[in-house]
Amino acid sequence: MSKQLPPFVTFASGAALLKELDLVDDITADGLRYHARQNPDWWRFGDRKDQLPYLMAGGRTRTMETGPFLEMFRTGPRRGGKGNKPQPDK
């Protein structure tokens, strides 16, 4: 049985989901925020016209579409620190 993914994630729920799906060794919401600020070349969410927009939930909570968010960690370049785990050869 596969898990039903949420349609959107926040930085906090996104970090937890990345760990749960074993796409990273470890990451925090602050780690995701750091990458969002420091790596605009691979971050697909933001305020620029050519990026997917953050969707605001409440006052200052930014959300991202789950599908593109996860895809970024499945296929994107390695992030600094513990980053994404190498995928096993199939």
Any domain includes 28: yes
Domain that holds residue 15: 8-75
Any domain includes 86: no
Any domain includes 15: yes
pLDDT by residue for the chain (90 residues), tens digit each?
A: 467 999 999 999 999 999 898 888 888 999 888 877 777 655 566 656 666 667 778 788 888 889 888 888 887 655 544 445 555 655
pLDDT score at 15: 92
Q: Kindly give, in sequence order, each residue whose CB lies less than 8 Å from that of residue 42, ignoring residues fewer than 6 positions away.
A: 72, 76, 77
46 vs 25: CA distance, rounded Å = 25
Any domain includes 25: yes
Domain count, the chain: 1
Any domain includes 83: no
Any domain includes 81: no
3-state secondary structure 25-79: CCCCHHHHHHHHHHCCCCCCEECCCCCEECEEECCCEEEEEHHHHHHHHHHCCCC
Any domain includes 1: no
